[in-house]
Amino acid sequence: MLEAPDLRSLLQPIAGPDADPPVRRIALVEDLGRLGDLDEATLAVLTHAASQDAVSYRLDVALRTAGSRKLSAVVLTDGREDIAPTAAALARRVTVAVLRARSDCDLAALLLALHRELAGGPDVALGRIRAALRALESSSAGSASAATTPEETTPEELLGAATGALGAPVELRPPRPGDLSAPVTVADEIEATVSTPRGEGHAAVAADVVVHLAAAAIGRARAATRQAEDAPIRSRGELISEFLLARPDQGDRLLERMRGAGLAIDGWHTAILVDVDNLGVLAADDELVSLRITDRVATLGLEAARAAGGVWHRARIGSGLLLTRMERHDRSVRGRDVAHAADQILRRIVSRIPQISLVCGVGSPHVGATGLRTTVAEARAALAAGHAGRRVNVATSFDEVGLHRTLIEWFASDTAREAVDELLRPIDELGPQKSRDSLQTLRAYLDNQGSTTRAAAELHLHRNAIAYRVRRIFELLGVDPQDPDTMLMLQLACRARALG
C-alpha cells in the first residue's frame, strides 16, 4: 500500500517488523482506548488528537494493545518524524508497523485513498494508468525542456517512472511465467520486451496498460536517439557519395569539407559494397517499402561493421550500400579484418531479414583520396562478379575475383576519369538506356578484336545490326576506327565504365 501512487506521498514508515503485515480493513481512531475493539489486520489511523495523546508510555500501551489484536499498523497524524527507540523496538516485537502522515494531512482524503487502494476497484486501476501516462510524458518532456538531446531520456528513466506510477516493478527483460509483457518496437522490429508481474483483478488491467505504455515510450525514445545519431552519419555519407561521383575539378573543395566533417580522407580506406538482389520481390515494387528495407539494411550493416572494429562510415552508391572503413594509420588496416567484417555484416542483416538475398563486393586497402576511389571501384568490380556468379549472401573480394588492379587504379585517378568522361560524353548525352546499349555494343565489338560476328553472337544480335551500331557510334564520337591508340583508349574507357 505504501508503494501505491496515491499513498506514496501521504504515508511514510517510522518503525515496525521486517515483514509486511497484511491489511484487510481501515479504521479511524479518535480514542487510544478503542484500539482494543478493532479486528485483526486493521490499519488504524489516529486522529490528530489521538496521535498527540500517543506519547511516552501511552504509545507503548497502544502498541501492545495493537499487537494483541494483531493490527497491521498504527498511523500517527501529528506530524512527528520518529518515535522513541524503546517504542520502535516494541513495534518490531509485536509486529505492528508505525506510520506517519504530515500534520496538515487531510484525514478524509487519506482514508478515501486507503479505502480505494484496499478495494482495488476500477478507480484504482484508472488512477495508476493516468499516473503512469503523466509520469512517462513528464520524463520525456523533462529531457526536452532541459535542452538535452533525445537520447538522454533513457529506458531506465522511463521504466522508473512507470514503476513509480504502477507501484510494481516494470522492467526491460524477457517475461517470466505469469508476467504481463509488451514488445519494444523500433522501425517495425521488436528490439526488447518490457515485463511486470500480473497482479490481481483490476490491478492486472492497470499493469497490462502501463507495460504497453512503457514499451511504446521506450520505443519512441530509442527511435529518437537513432534519428539523432543518424543525422551526422547521413551527412558524412552524403559527402562520401558526392566525392565519389564528383568531377575532378570539384575534388579540392570536397576534400576540405570531408576533413572538416572529421573524415580521415587522407588515411587508409577499404570499401564494402552491399546490394539487395531481391529488393523488388521483397518490396513488391512499392517504393516506400523499398526505402524502408534499404534503410534497415543500412542501419544493420553499419552496426555490424562497427561491432567488428574500426572506424566505419555509411553511404549510398546508386541502389547499393557502401560501407567504408577509414583509418588514419596503415597499421590499423588489415585485409582479413575487412573480410571478417563483411561476413559479419551479411550474417547480421540476414539474421534480421531472413528472406533477403544480398550480393557483396569487398575492395582492398588503399591510401588517400585516390585510394578511396580505388577501393570503391574494386568493391564495385567484385560486386559485379558476385552478381555474375550468383554469389548470394557471400562476400566476394576483389583479390579473389582476379581482376586487373592496374585498370582499377588507373580509372580511380582524376585525370583518367576526366579523360573517359570527355571521350564518352556524346554517348552519355543519348540518355540512360541508349547510352547503356551503345557502350555494351562498343565493348563487345572491341573485346572481340573488331569481329562483328563474334560480337553479334555475344549480344544475340545479327552481325549487320552490330556493324550498323558500331559505325553510328564512331560517327557520334568523331574517332578514327583505324587509329590503334584511339581504339585502345575506347576499350579501356568501356571496361572502366563497366567496373565503375
- Residue 190 CA, chain-centre distance (Å), reads 10
C-alpha distances (whole Å) from 68 to each of 29, 41, 62, 63, 137 are 17, 11, 10, 9, 47
> Would the pLDDT of 440 be above 70?
yes
> Would the pLDDT of 404 be above 70?
no
Summarize pLDDT for 155-197 with one digit per residue, the tens: 888 888 888 878 789 999 999 998 999 999 887 778 899 999 9
Are 427 and 438 within 8 A, CB to CB? yes
Alpha carbons within 13 angstroms on the beta-carbon side of residue 187 total 19
Summarize pLDDT for 451-478 with one digit per residue, the tens: 999 999 989 999 999 999 999 999 999 9
Domain 5-119 has CATH 3.40.50.2300: no
Q: How far apart are CA 29 and CA 26, in angstroms?
A: 10
Find the mean pLDDT for residues 357-386. 87
Task: Name the most confidently modeled range: 90-94, 113-117, 139-143, 238-242.
Answer: 90-94
Q: How far apart are CA 313 and CA 300, in angstroms?
A: 13
Residue 438: exposure state from Cβ atoms within 10 A (0-12, 13-18, ≥19)? buried
Q: Please count the other Cβ atoms lying within 10 Å of the Cβ belonging to residue 478.
A: 7
Residue with cell 573517359: 420
Query: With bands split at pLDDT 50, 70 and 90, how would you rate the model's confidence at 73?
Result: very high
Find the mean pLDDT for residues 41-60. 93
Least confident stretch, 90-94, 125-129, 293-297, 318-322: 125-129
One-letter identity of residue 252:
D
Nearest to 394 by CA among 353, 342, 348: 342
Summarize pLDDT for 213-266 with one digit per residue, the tens: 999 989 888 888 777 766 677 788 888 888 888 766 666 778 888 888 888 889
Alpha carbons within 13 angstroms on the beta-carbon side of residue 108 total 0
Give just the sign of the alpha carbon dihedral 120, 124, 126, 130: negative
Are 276 and 356 within 8 A, CB to CB? yes
Least confident stretch, 136-150, 171-185, 299-313, 458-472: 136-150
Find the mean pLDDT for residues 84-109. 91
Q: How far apart are CA 185 and CA 157, in angstroms?
A: 18
Residue spans in the chain of domains classed CATH 3.40.1390.20 = 5-119
Q: How far apart are CA 165 and CA 5, in angstroms?
A: 5
> Would the pLDDT of 357 be above 90?
yes
Q: Residue 64: CB partners within 8 Å, gap ≥ 6?
A: 90, 94
Find the mean pLDDT for residues 270-276. 93
Residue spans in the chain of domains classed CATH 3.30.70.270 = 264-410
Nearest to 297 by CA among 222, 343, 356: 356
pTM of the model as a whole: 0.51
pLDDT of residue 407: 67
Are 317 and 273 within 8 A, CB to CB? yes
Q: How far apart are CA 261 and CA 312, in angstroms?
A: 14
Domain 264-410 has CATH 3.30.70.270: yes
Nearest to 345 by CA among 327, 361, 330, 329: 361
Q: What are phi and psi of 353, to 5 degrees?
A: -130, 80
Mean pLDDT of the chain: 84
Q: Please count the other Cβ atoms lying within 10 Å of the Cβ belonging to residue 19.
A: 8
pLDDT of residue 146: 42
CATH of domain 415-499: 1.10.10.2840
pLDDT of residue 453: 92
Residue spans in the chain of domains classed CATH 1.10.10.2840 = 415-499
pLDDT of residue 497: 76
Q: Please measure the distance between the N-terminal and C-terminal CA atoms of the chain and give it in whole angstroms.
A: 70
> Would the pLDDT of 141 be above 70?
no
Query: With bands split at pLDDT 50, 70 and 90, how would you rate the model's confidence at 147?
Result: very low
Find the mean pLDDT for residues 319-341. 80
